[in-house]
């Protein structure tokens, strides 16, 4: 083996040499990075790329442009970075049409870095703050996301030049037992949701009888609003590939699979290319780097069923059977794909592995907290200002994540709750914002870590409706196999729908809680076992909202359509303005005898158009709940007028 | 012959084959545990979907479905406890909220597993706390002598497996969530599905959703 090691080390040194050369060559000229992951593309990154290329050609400038993935600042897409000698590297955000060409022109021809468009500098300087100078930077600690947005995901050389695949080479020199020991003592817990200790899972698989063994990367990511795994695969796919190869080496597998949803075409493309490039470099395939260790990876595209992310359903789906969970045990580590011992790990879990192999278990344990070492990666979504990806040490508080990293609530609104842990997570209120983000604390608070989805809710969000929304998702995505999940969630959903329609009954809250407890206790897989969480946590923290719906027919957040009515305040209406009348799609708004606009409640479809159309200086359109308040207001108006006429 | 082990169920010492799923060991020893989806001819691959056969296992924190539990020497089981009864009652009520209740006219009357469970566990056939969810699916009587009323189906899957073993393998599950249903490929009537009318499904159905008409 030691002979093999020397061969591998020499072969790898050669790869590193080539990679470094091409990496350094990039920086010999000004270098422009354009964030072109799915988030960037949605905001116009590809036209920005075109625009910048054209400008460079037009001015006959000598510069390198590369497409990179996402740095996590999705709120500011499209994002562009320029390395220009003599200046600190600068990251620009919100690079709208025309702006990209202008920045490049001014910067590369006149030395004007255009700091009015900059988000931050990437290295300390006297000119401009870096990301680390913002509240966000205090908390951020990028391990998995470190290279995301800074290297070309389509170029394996960039990954190798920045330290990639060295961990695999190291792992090839170690015994499988030693690799497992390292992962075990690092305390790494699975990032797919359950937080199961990764090293223990690997050890079980290694010791399980049966060959061949398989390793699978779970990139199904079915949580609505979640995009951590997608972004990582689009931005730095080799990290997962390397992690999967190390896992294979540890458990003794020769075949790996990446189970990735077909709705992620760019991620599929990037992973496919990464695997191909790794194979070409001899980092995958037969006798990797001449060590005699064989391992290869195949991509399997799933078709977007949430439940197929559950490991036994995922395996069934790979075997060509319906994607339906089965009873565990046996766990996949003992009997998985084709009945063979199989490791299934999440994208993020595997992406930590190379870093742990490189820096050691102690290093990993020094980040986060004792039982929850390492970082947490979240996709911030909803009403938060800085939507995007964030990586912070475990045990950072929700408060810090939402208000420092996320910059708080958009539109000056008030924070109400954070829905954390995906569709089966829970909603935590302001009073729980001190909760540290880790597997155990979040579960204790009635939510869960999940895979890293986080939706921030503000005062306009009705918590009953939020619970209904998530349960509607899990109910539709339930495979329907087991009684509790198929019928229990259906009954719960019916009750919630009734409540949001104003037809709630006394006793509904108790009924929901009873059903929830049974569905949690009785369901076959974790989909059912966790589906009631949004309902239970909203009842726990926002019971008053349920009661207002049930007892008063009132939606305190003015969100449930059946419980609100639109009303035009007579003393605010400008009379000669017709904005609302023109905006109404059903001609429900007309003038009264005083030319004040009045909404015909029978015709109104509550589309919100008039409220949007009413000019902000008047703000005459309001929502009232319960809807019968409109009649009271109208009566008040008529009586007030009568009195006035009498005088 | 597999090795024999001694286990305790509800205080009774019984002998069973090592590795046999507990449900069958109990039933073979005359101890009743409610069940619908369990299939004696496919013991190793329990569907564990009806969620009725929960039992308490000494040393385990939560009740376990008996159809999934291989027995081993010294296992101590209680088929009843407050938690088990709560789960079984809840699963049963859920199933009954979605089963067309028409015992009087049902061919399975008197030989129905739901009636048996209700009797054994003193449960109501008519759900008490839950509204009835009506499915209003069409009854299929396209094959002479065979009637399939999906509104009675509890989705235990026994017909599907029986059809695969003894029939022409025309039955299967389709759709997700609440819409999951036993049907033919492409949802065509049985007569167009290749069904031979052998009646294996009716023999397997514990609740009268499939029945043979003379
Ligand atoms: C309904 C359901 C959906 C799931 N979806 C995913 C998913 O999209 N990605 C994932 O990694 N794990 C998902 N899981 C968790 C997997 O079953 C499994 O625990 C995980 O992939 C193990 O990887 P880890 O040990 O790295 O966390 C899901 C579980 C359930 C019950």
Mean pLDDT, rounded, for B52-77: 97
Write the CATH number for A607: 3.30.70.20
| CB-based contact A88:A100 (threshold 8 Å) | no
In this model, does residue B214 exceed pLDDT 80? no
Taking only the tens place, the pLDDT of each residue in A154-195 is 999 999 999 999 999 999 999 999 999 999 999 999 999 889
Our answer on whether the CB atom of A317 is closer than 6 Å to any ligand 1 atom is no
In this model, does residue A641 exceed pLDDT 90? no
What are the Cα distances from residue A364, in Å, to A191, A203, A490?
15, 19, 43
Mean pLDDT, rounded, for A265-276: 97
A126 band by pLDDT with thresholds 50, 70 and 90: confident
Q: Report how far residue A322's alpha carbon sits from residue B169's, in angstroms, rounded to the nearest whole number.
A: 16
In this model, does residue A451 exceed pLDDT 90? no
Q: Give pLDDT, residue A1.
A: 47
Rounded percentage of chain A residues whose pLDDT exceeds 90: 91
**Three-state DSSP state, A285:** strand
Residue A4 C-beta-side C-alpha neighbours within 13 Å: 14
Domain range enclosing A90: 9-153
- On whether both A325 and A225 belong to a single domain, the answer is yes
Contact with chain B for residue A483, Cβ under 8 A: yes
| DSSP characters over A93-113 | -S--TTHHHHHHHHHHHH---
| DSSP characters over A392-457 | EETT-BHHIIIIIIS-SBGGG--EEEEEESGGGSEEEEGGGTT-B-SHHHHHHTT---TTSEEEEE
Q: Give pLDDT, residue A548.
A: 98
Residue A391 in any domain: the answer is yes
What's the residue count for chain B? 214
Q: Report which protein residue has its CA nearest ligand 1's atom 28.
A: A310
Kind plus residue range of the DSSP H or E element containing A486:
none
In this model, does residue A346 exceed pLDDT 70? yes
How many CB pairs (< 8 A) connect A and B?
Answer: 95
ipTM over 0.90: yes
Average pLDDT of the residues of chain B: 96
A646 band by pLDDT with thresholds 50, 70 and 90: confident
- On whether both A294 and A181 belong to a single domain, the answer is yes
Taking only the tens place, the pLDDT of each residue in A537-589 is 999 999 999 999 999 999 999 999 999 999 999 999 999 899 999 999 999 99
Mean pLDDT, rounded, for A492-513: 97
Write the CATH number for A489: 1.20.1440.230
In this model, does residue A2 exceed pLDDT 70? no
Mean pLDDT, rounded, for A25-47: 95
- The residues facing A34 across adjacent strands are A67, A80
Peptide linkage before A78 cis (omega within 30 of 0): yes
- On whether both A281 and A171 belong to a single domain, the answer is yes
What's the residue count for chain A? 647
Residue A370 in any domain: the answer is no
Instruction: Give the pairing of strands A296-302 and B181-184.
Output: unpaired
Write the CATH number for A282: 3.40.50.11540
Question: What are the backbone angles phi and psi of residue A433, rounded to the nearest 5°?
Answer: -70, -15
Structure tokens at A415: 């924070």
Taking only the tens place, the pLDDT of each residue in B141-185 is 999 999 999 999 999 999 999 999 999 999 999 999 999 999 999
A70 band by pLDDT with thresholds 50, 70 and 90: very high
Our answer on whether the CB atom of A311 is closer than 6 Å to any ligand 1 atom is yes
- On whether both A54 and A148 belong to a single domain, the answer is yes
Residue A1 in any domain: the answer is no
Q: How many CB atoms lie within 10 A of CB B76?
A: 13
Using CA coordinates, name the residue in chain A closest to B155: A481
Where do the DSSP E strands lie in chain B? 4-9, 12-17, 54-57, 64-65, 76-78, 146-148, 171-174, 181-184, 210-212
| CB-based contact B151:B183 (threshold 8 Å) | no
Q: Report how far residue A553's alpha carbon sits from residue A357's, in angstroms, rounded to the nearest whole number.
A: 58
Instruction: Give the pairing of strands A213-219 and A253-261.
Output: parallel
* Structural domains of chain A, count: 5
Residue tagged 């009797």 (tokens):
B119
Where do the DSSP E strands lie in A198-295? 213-219, 253-261
Where are the alpha helices (H) located in A252-290, listed in sequence order? Answer: 265-280
At the second CATH level, the architecture of B137-214 is 2-Layer Sandwich (3.30)
Residue tagged 């992690």 (tokens):
A243
The CATH class of B1-134 is alpha beta
In this model, does residue A430 exceed pLDDT 60? yes
Residues in A touching B98 (Cβ below 8 Å): 487
- On whether both A149 and A276 belong to a single domain, the answer is no
Q: Report how far residue A52's alpha carbon sits from residue A28's, in angstroms, rounded to the nearest whole number.
A: 19
In this model, does residue A647 exceed pLDDT 80? no
Last residue of one domain, picked from the residues A522, A552, A582 = A552
Instruction: Give the pairing of strands A565-568 and B4-9.
Output: unpaired
Q: Mutate which of B57, B94, B135, B171 to disrupt the A interface (most A C-beta within 10 Å)?
A: B94
In this model, does residue A407 exceed pLDDT 50? yes
Sort A472 into a burial class: Cβ within 10 Å, 0-12 / 13-18 / 19+. Answer: middle
Atom from ligand 1 closest to the CA of residue A192:
27
Q: Residue B178 and residue A488: Cβ atoms within 8 Å? A: no
Give helix B82-96 / helix A508-522 axis angle, nearest 10°.
110
Q: Report how far residue A190's alpha carbon sits from residue A199's, in angstroms, rounded to the nearest whole number.
A: 9
Structure tokens at A255: 């075949």
């Amino acid at each position: 083996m030691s002979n093999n090691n020397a061969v591998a080390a020499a072969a790898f040194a050669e790869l590193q040499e080539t990679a470094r050369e091409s990496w350094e060559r990039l920086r010999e000229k000004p270098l422009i990075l354009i964030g072109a992951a799915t988030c960037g593309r949605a905001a116009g990154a590809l036209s920005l790329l075109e625009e910048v290329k054209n400008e460079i050609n037009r001015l006959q400038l000598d510069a390198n442009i590369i497409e990179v993935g996402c740095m996590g600042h999705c709120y500011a897409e499209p994002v562009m970075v320029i390395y220009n000698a003599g200046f600190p590297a600068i990251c620009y955000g919100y690079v709208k049409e025309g702006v990209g060409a202008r920045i490049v022109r001014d910067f590369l021809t006149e030395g004007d870095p255009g700091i009015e468009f900059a988000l931050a500098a990437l290295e300390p300087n006297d000119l401009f703050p870096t990301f680390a100078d913002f509240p966000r930077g205090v908390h951020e600690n990028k391990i998995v996301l470190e290279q995301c947005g800074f290297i070309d995901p389509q170029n394996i050389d960039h990954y190798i030049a920045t330290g990639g695949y060295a961990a695999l080479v190291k792992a090839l020199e170690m015994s499988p037992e030693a690799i497992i020991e390292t992962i075990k003592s690092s305390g790494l817990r699975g990032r797919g949701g359950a937080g199961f200790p990764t090293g223990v899972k690997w050890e079980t698989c290694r010791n399980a009888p049966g060959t061949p063994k398989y390793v699978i990367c779970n990139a199904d990511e079915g949580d609505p609003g979640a995009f951590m795994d997608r972004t990582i695969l689009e931005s730095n796919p080799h990290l997962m590939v390397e992690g999967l190869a190390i896992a294979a080496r540890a458990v003794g597998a020769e075949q790996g699979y990446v189970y990735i949803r077909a709705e992620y075409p760019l991620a599929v493309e990037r992973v496919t290319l990464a695997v191909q490039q790794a194979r070409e470099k001899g980092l995958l395939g037969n006798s990797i780097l001449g060590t005699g260790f064989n391992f290869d990876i195949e991509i399997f595209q799933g078709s977007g069923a949430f439940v197929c992310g559950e490991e036994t359903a995922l395996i069934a789906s790979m075997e060509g059977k319906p994607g339906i969970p089965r009873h565990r045990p046996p766990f996949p580590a003992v009997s998985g794909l084709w009945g063979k011992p199989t490791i299934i790990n999440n994208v993020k879990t595997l992406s930590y592995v190379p870093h742990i192999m490189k820096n050691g278990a102690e290093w990993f344990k020094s980040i986060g907290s004792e039982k929850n070492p390492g970082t947490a990666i979240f996709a911030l979504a909803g009403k938060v200002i800085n939507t995007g990806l964030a990586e912070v040490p475990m045990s950072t508080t929700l408060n810090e994540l939402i208000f420092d990293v996320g910059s708080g609530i958009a539109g000056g609104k008030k924070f109400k709750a954070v829905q954390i842990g995906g569709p089966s997570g829970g909603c935590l209120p302001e009073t729980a914002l001190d909760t540290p983000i880790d597997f155990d604390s979040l579960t204790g608070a009635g939510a869960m870590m999940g895979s890293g989805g986080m939706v921030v809710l503000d005062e306009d969000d009705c918590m009953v409706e939020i619970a209904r929304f998530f349960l509607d998702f899990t109910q539709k995505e339930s495979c329907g196999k087991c009684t509790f999940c198929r019928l229990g969630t259906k009954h719960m959903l019916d009750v919630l729908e009734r409540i949001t329609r104003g037809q709630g009954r006394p006793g509904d809250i108790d009924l929901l809680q009873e059903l929830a407890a049974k569905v949690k206790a009785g369901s076959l897989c974790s989909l059912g076992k966790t589906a009631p969480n949004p309902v239970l946590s909203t009842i726990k923290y926002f019971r008053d909202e349920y009661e207002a719906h049930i007892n008063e027919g009132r939606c305190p957040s003015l969100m449930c359509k059946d419980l609100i009515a639109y009303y035009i305040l007579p003393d605010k209406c400008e009379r000669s303005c017709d904005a609302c009348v023109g905006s109404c799609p059903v001609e429900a708004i007309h003038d009264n005898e005083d030319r004040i606009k009045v909404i015909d409640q029978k015709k109104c479809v509550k589309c919100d158009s008039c409220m949007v159309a009413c000019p902000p200086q008047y703000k005459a359109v309001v929502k009232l709940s319960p809807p019968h308040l409109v009649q009271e207001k109208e009566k008040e108006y008529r009586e007030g007028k009568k009195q006035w006429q009498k005088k | 012959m597999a090795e024999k082990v001694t286990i305790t169920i509800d205080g009774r010492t019984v002998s069973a084959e090592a590795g046999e799923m507990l449900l069958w060991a109990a039933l073979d020893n005359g101890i009743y545990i409610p069940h619908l989806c369990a299939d004696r001819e496919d013991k190793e691959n329990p569907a564990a979907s009806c969620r009725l056969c929960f039992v308490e296992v000494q040393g385990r924190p939560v009740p376990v479905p008996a159809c999934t539990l291989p027995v081993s020497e010294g296992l101590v089981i209680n088929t009843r406890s407050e938690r088990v009864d709560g789960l079984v009652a809840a699963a049963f009520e859920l199933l009954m909220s979605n089963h067309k209740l028409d015992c009087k006219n049902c061919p399975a009357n008197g030989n129905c597993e739901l009636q048996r469970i209700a009797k054994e566990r003193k449960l109501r056939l008519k759900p008490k706390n839950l509204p009835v969810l009506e499915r209003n699916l069409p009854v299929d009587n396209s094959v002479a002598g065979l009637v399939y009323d999906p509104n009675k189906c509890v989705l235990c899957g026994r017909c599907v497996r029986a059809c695969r073993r003894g029939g022409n393998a025309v039955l299967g599950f389709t759709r997700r969530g609440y819409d999951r249903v036993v049907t033919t490929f492409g949802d065509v009537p049985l007569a167009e599905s290749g069904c031979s009318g052998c009646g294996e499904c009716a023999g397997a159905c514990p609740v009268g959703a499939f029945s043979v008409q003379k």
